[in-house]
Amino acid sequence: MKITCVIAAHNEEGNLAPVIAGVKQHTQGLTEVLVVDDGSTDGTAAEAEAAGARVVRQTPNRGKGAALLRGLRELDGSPDYVLFIDGDGQDDPADIPALVEAARGGGEFVNGSRWLGTLKRGSISFPNRLGNRFMTELLNVRHGARITDSQAGFRLIHTRLLDPDRFRSREYEVETEMVLHAVRSGARIAEVPVTRHPRGEGDTDFKRVRNGLRILATILVGRPVFR
Ligand SMILES: Nc1nc2c(ncn2[C@@H]2O[C@H](COP(=O)(O)OP(=O)(O)OP(=O)(O)O)[C@@H](O)[C@H]2O)c(=O)[nH]1
Ligand SMILES: [Mg+2]
């Protein structure tokens, strides 16, 4: 199974190197780590390159969704699966073998679920916790899915479900859009419990109201609404 790891990164200096090292250590069949640096103003790109990743840079900053879609357009060598992991150190690369195992067992959309796993103290705020539960339940009810974590950024997805022309997200609604596409495609969805840590250096770009509304609209309408 050939796996390429795609990481969207915006100002993740100090966080990225250990993530990339962890991905290399734990991913059997890894072809490369591709970092999409989205208008960072710190040493994100240099750190990623020094850690052995291929870096694609785009400026100005456009958002996590735009960055991940750019990454899908830059895939090299026809991998079977793409591994998505956050670049801020919140996801634990030690969980990757469990994701790979689930893919080997037939999972085409393997979701790293923080709700089945462990949310470490300080890894999520109370409002975001509530928002996450609500969005996931709403998505399940509205779209006939049965997942426990619709906002997971830690996933292993078969490339048949990742044609970049099928997506239009710019920001954090990208995770939701990918779930919707998998559900509509009749994909075999599997979930694996993962551990979520507090962020390393720096701050999140997630804006609760703005990004919450974008995600909500994506679920209600069934596709991203705002460009
Ligand atoms: N390329 C790119 N990556 C981004 C952008 N915004 C966020 N990311 C990356 O996406 C990942 C997750 O971003 P966070 O802002 O921490 O969001 P989150 O982890 O979903 O939310 P929190 O729980 O609030 O931390 C990190 O690797 C970020 O660097 C962006 O505008 N461009
Ligand atoms: Mg984060």
Q: What CATH number is given to the structural domain containing 9?
A: 3.90.550.10
Q: Does any domain span residue 226?
A: no
In a domain, 149, yes or no: yes
pLDDT at position 69 is 98
Residue 114 lies in a domain: yes
In a domain, 131, yes or no: yes
* Nearest CA owner, ligand 1 atom 5: 64
CA of 86 to the centre of ligand 1 (A): 7
For ligand 1, pick from 11, 55, 86 the residue to mutate: most ligand atoms within 8 Å of CB. 86
Q: HEC profile for the chain?
A: CCEEEEEEECCCCCCHHHHHHHHHHHCCCEEEEEEEEECCCCCHHHHHHHCCCEEEEECCCCCHHHHHHHHHHCCCCCCCEEEECCCCCCECHHHHHHHHHHHHCCCCEEEEEEEEEEECCCCCCHHHHHHHHHHHHHHHHHHCCCCCCCCCCCEEEEHHHCCHHHCCCCCCCHHHHHHHHHHHCCCCEEEEEEEECCCCCCCCCCCHHHHHHHHHHHHHHCCCCCC
Ligand 1, CB cutoff 6 Å, lining residues: 8-10, 12, 36, 38, 61, 63-64, 67, 86-88, 90, 124, 128, 153, 199, 204-206
211 CA distance to ligand 2 middle (Å): 13
What integer pLDDT is reported at residue 227 of this predicted model? 78
In a domain? residue 206? yes
**Residue 114 lies in domain:** 3-221
| Number of structural domains in the chain | 1
- Confirm whether 227 is domain-assigned: no
In order along its 227 residues, the chain shows pLDDT tens digits of 999 999 999 999 999 999 999 999 999 999 999 999 999 999 999 999 999 999 999 999 999 999 999 999 999 999 999 999 999 999 999 999 999 999 999 999 999 999 999 999 999 999 999 999 999 999 999 999 999 999 999 999 999 999 999 999 999 999 999 999 999 999 999 999 999 999 989 989 999 999 999 999 999 999 999 87
Task: Report CA(198)–ligand 2 centroid distance (Å).
Answer: 8
Give residue 200's pLDDT: 87
